[in-house]
């Protein structure tokens, strides 16, 4: 089995697990727990912030749950109509989640470093989905694929944030606020760099090679 197929297993698992994570906030009282542990009671009680928070995690979860399926060429070609419909759901989910995320980033724990880190993430997440959507409207499939790779790399920040935070505290013994400031950037910048490398490598493949029949 090729390495890329093996990587699909943890990729899909982490996307699904993190995508379902927001359900916890609907069924369990999270006051003083999780990310809410860093929020004041006044902020949690604020209607605008509360609405934006639930909009962000709900539609962000939907984006994670739907987005990973879009990168399978086999599924795209076999179920093209489903791909398009799921894509519409993904675009709407990212737009709503990113705009809500941009608002709640203003209240990020850790001061200006965290505000800028999460704010930049939300802004780029919104801009890249606009680019992906406008590219497919122009029937520029290659650019659409490239922008979607960048966009989902940013969506995956929800996964990497939850992987890094306990590691920074348990392994590096950093206090929460120091770790949070670093991770507000670390959770998405490397993801985007990896996406850019993938985009660069795929754009270096000659056009004729893409259409060559497989030997097996």
Going from N- to C-terminal start, the domains of the chain cover: 3-33+40-205
- Reported as a single tens digit per residue, the pLDDT across 36-67 is 777 788 888 899 999 999 999 999 999 999 99
C-alpha atoms less than 13 angstroms from C-alpha of 86 in its C-beta half-sphere: 18
> Which pLDDT score is estimated for 216?
36
> Which pLDDT score is estimated for 28?
85
Q: What is the residue whose two structure tokens read 């406008």? A: 134
> Which pLDDT score is estimated for 171?
77
Note the pTM of the prediction, 2 decimals: 0.86
* Inter-residue contact 146 to 199 (CB < 8 Å): yes
Segment-wise mean pLDDT, segments of 10 residues, the chain, 216 residues: 72 92 87 71 88 96 92 76 91 98 94 96 98 95 94 97 88 84 96 95 60 41
Q: Cα 158 vs. chain centroid, distance in angstroms? A: 6
Instruction: Give the CATH class of 3-33+40-205.
Output: mainly alpha
Q: What is the residue whose two structure tokens read 């542990």? A: 37
> Which pLDDT score is estimated for 57?
95
**Would you tell me how many other CB atoms lie within 10 Å of the CB of residue 108?**
22
């Amino acid at each position: 089995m090729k390495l890329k197929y093996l990587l699909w297993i943890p990729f899909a698992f982490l996307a699904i697990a993190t995508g379902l994570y927001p359900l916890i906030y609907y069924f369990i009282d999270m006051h003083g727990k999780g990310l809410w542990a860093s929020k004041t009671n006044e902020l949690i009680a604020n209607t605008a912030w509360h609405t934006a928070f639930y909009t962000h995690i709900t539609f962000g979860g939907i984006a994670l749950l739907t987005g990973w399926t879009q990168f399978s060429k086999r599924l795209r070609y076999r179920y093209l109509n489903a791909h398009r419909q799921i894509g519409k759901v993904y675009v709407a989910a990212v737009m709503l989640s990113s705009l809500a995320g941009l608002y709640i980033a203003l209240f990020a724990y850790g001061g200006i470093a965290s505000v800028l880190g999460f704010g930049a993430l939300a802004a780029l997440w919104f801009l890249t989905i606009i680019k992906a959507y406008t590219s497919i409207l122009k029937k520029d499939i290659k650019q659409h694929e490239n922008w979607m790779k960048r966009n989902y790399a940013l969506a995956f920040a929800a996964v990497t944030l939850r992987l890094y935070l306990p590691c920074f505290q348990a392994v590096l013994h950093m206090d929460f606020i120091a770790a949070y400031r670093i991770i507000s950037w670390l959770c998405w910048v490397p993801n985007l760099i990896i996406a850019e490398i993938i985009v660069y490598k795929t754009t270096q493949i000659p056009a004729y090679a893409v259409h060559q029949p497989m030997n097996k």
